[in-house]
Each structure stands twice: as structure tokens, then as C-alpha cells.
Structure 1
Amino acid sequence: MDSARPRQSDNQIGLNVGGKIYLTTRDTLTRYPNSFFAIMLDSDIPSDKDAQGNYLIDRDGEIFRQVLNFMRCGELVLPRGFSEFDLLEHEADFFSLEALEVALREAAGMSVGIAVGTGSTRSTYMMTREALMREKESFFTDMLDGGKPFPRDRQDNYVISRNNSLFHHVVDYLVRGGILNDITSSDLQQLRKEAKYFRLQMLEQHIQSVEFLRQQAGFHLHIHFFYSENGPCVAYSGKLRRDLDRSLEKLWKGYQIGNEVYAGEVDPKTMSKFTSASSVKEFFSTQTSKSVKMSELSSNCTRINVQLY
């Protein structure tokens, strides 16, 4: 017997979905009696298994995470910015999860569908009206106000003929409050054009921060905080995280989005105690031994620039 191989109990079930391994329980998989999984586990028909004894299922391994979470929770809980509704609906149909199909239809009723791109490169994103109206004078507020006809497809999604390869960065900004995925310098320049087209002025400020921090790589430590009282907060840093003092890491956890630039979400409760640039400066002055230089930009949110040197 291979001692390194994990031992599964009678209630523990391993699934190999498109090459990704999931470990769950029989109780979770049989939660919906008429589903694919209930039939698979309760019937006498033999099922294919891999060398480790996991059930082999030839479906999309990435999207299956959402299917399994639904069966675990009994409700639809999707990550922010999730856009693969069409694929998830296909998986719900394949696995005979009628409850998931109903939940997806209800979610679609509360969301706005946007089809971005042209032809075969078009992708559909589902977003809340609240996220789309983050900036009050933007392209999206005009789109939703109903003042003039706007093109839609057969599924009633708004159709926008723009660069689909960059639109997920626009979604990140609208939903999560910043540029939070890896982006190249050339894509950052193209994203600035998209921000201008969609009239997202604060997104342009985020792009400006990322560009500035890339230029400052290797010099002083800069941190740019974007604080919004009624929305998500993010921070950007121009140094590697190992160069940050532990006191700074209490405020935010950064993830690399490009050469020498890190970005991360900040807990609004943490940021709420900083009512101005001066209060941020006071925090850094007491938490670090470095000198602090501050500047502040006010708009529909506040950008606070911290320079430690």
C-alpha cells in the first residue's frame, strides 16, 4: 500500500474534473437528489476513475469550483467580477442541477449583462447597476439612464464594440475599485484609451499611479491609497513586499501586477480612520522610522500618496 496516498473515508469523495482534483463529501454531492452526482453515486452503473480512485468527469475543471460551492452552500456565491455566466449555465444543465439554473436566472435578473467585443471574440459580463454607476458622469450611466436607444443582443445584453482583451481591467475597477490583475506597459497605455472612452476619470488616476510607480522602481518607496467612503479601497506600491515594514503590511496585502508594482484591496474599515492625508502621515510617522512626504488628490474618491525615504 502506498502510505503517501491519502485515505478516503466512506463519506469522502474525490473528483477529477478536467484534470483538477476536488475533495468533497457524499452528503454534498447528493444534496440534490436528481442531479448527475446523486445518480453517479447511487446507481449500479460503473464510473470511470483515475489511478488515485477519483471519479473522472470530462468537464471544465476551473468553472467546476462554482458548481461545487453551490452544492456546498445551497446558494449562489460567486467571486466579484465573475463573468462566465454562459459557461456556468451550461455546466448546471449538464450536471442536472435545476436549482443552480434557477439561481443563475435570478442573478441575471438582478444584474446587467454587457457583451463586449466583436464577432467570435465577444464575451458577456454580468454586473450590478451599482458597480456600473461607480462614476456618475460615465459612459455606463448614460447607457443605463434609458435616454436614448442602445444596441442589445438576443439575450438583452448591452453590446459594446470595444477591446474585449482589456475590458476585464475595467470590470476590476468598477467592481473591486482598482487595477488588480497583471498588466503590461503597452496594455496600460491601451487601458488609458478605454478609460477615456468610457469617461472613467478615476480609473485614469489609477493608471497614472501605476505608471508613476513603474517609473520610480528602485528609488523611494511610494504607496498610493485610493480611498472611497462608499466603496472599495485599494493601494499600489512601487516596491517589492519584502521591502515593506510589517507595520505597512497591516494596512494592505499587495500582489504583483507588473514590473516592480504591487496592488491590493484595503479594508474600508481600516481606511476609514484616515480622514485626510495628514492623518495618514501621522500613522506612518509613528509606525516607521522613515521620513514621510504626503500629497492628496480629491475627486469622487481620495488618492493619498505616501513617500517614505
Structure 2
Amino acid sequence: MHADNTTMVAERIKFNVGGKQYECSRDLIAQQNPETVLGKLVSDMWQSNPDEAIFVDRDGDLFAHVLNYLRYGSLELPVTIPKSMFERELDYYGVAIKKDSITAETVTTFGESLMAEYRLAEEKRCAFLLAMESHRQFLMKQRDGVFEHVTVVMDCNNDLCYDLLNHSKRHPGAFNSDSPGRRIFDKYLGEFFGLEVLEVTKAFGLPSLLSGSFRVKKRET
């Protein structure tokens, strides 16, 4: 026996929330979340025409995040949406909020993450410049007859060294032996120029590549 079109339940549910159109599976709302306001709206009792979009007079942009919360059971909000605002929407729709299921990025944490990304990019840039300068000095010494170990000295006689020394002043210890910058430098020095650090001369008690001098040699393969 076949049900007619007026009683057949559609596989997809349409919503018009604040003028924005959405579609989702009927299973997500009617089966997985039947106790919510949305679940009641799409039930056979409330929705006689399954092809018609259900209008909800709420914020259409926030509704996309409501659906994602129903799908995944957790959500990471963008910096533009306060957590309290989103929780208010969930409360309106009758969605139970699980503990620690919503994380929100604040302006402060967003700024901190941007600064961390900028710092890493700057570290990579300086590590590559330092590796390039090490290779340049290595080639110059080879032309002078030095073929095994070359001492790389940081001074202010060229713009590149001046830039690197300024970086070390802004970030003391940036290229110490156990720093991320040093590990990035060693990687670049080996991969791009086939060299490795043999010895670092300590300056001011710190084994930093930018606070003294260091010797490089061809990397052993």
C-alpha cells in the first residue's frame, strides 16, 4: 500500500530561517533530535506539507551552526559569534547543551594565534636566510682554499646579517641549541644546501647561532 504525497514524509527537510534557506535530512531532526523544537516542527502532526519550507523567525546565520551542533554534538565557534549568543539560540530550539561541547575563540585568543603564526613564519624566514648566508660564506671560503670546516660569522657588513641580528635582539635565544628556530635552521641547511653545523662558539654564555660564530661542513650522506 502506497501513501499519497500529502502523508509521505520527505527525506529532506526545508527551513526558512530569517530569510535564509536550509535543507537537512529528516533523520537528523525527526529521529536523532525529536525532543527539540525543530523535531516537533517537522513531525507529521506539525508538518502536513513536507515540500514546504518551515519558517522560523530567528537569526539565519546562526542556524547553520545550530545544525552543525546537532550533527556533530560539539562545535568550535568563530570569533564573530559569542558563546552566550549561540547558547541562547540552542536554548530557543530546545537543544540540550553537553558540557564542554562548545568552544569559542575570543578576540584575545584569535590575536594570540595570529601572533604565534606570524612568529613561526618569521622564524622560518630567518632560519632560511641564516642557512643561505652560511652557504654563501662556505662557498667564499672554499674559493679561498678552505674545503673542510668553515666558520660562519655574523656581522653587520651586509643587510642580511643586519636583519638576522635585529631578529636576535627582538627574540633573544631564537636560535639557541634547543630552540624551534635552530631545528628549522638545521633542516633548511641540510635540505637546501647540503651542510650541517659542526660547532657553535658560545657568546654571553649562550650557544646561539646569532650571538657568536659557528662552523659548518658538508653534510655526511
**TM, length-normalised to structure 2:** 0.45
Which one has a larger percent helix, Structure 1 or Structure 2?
2
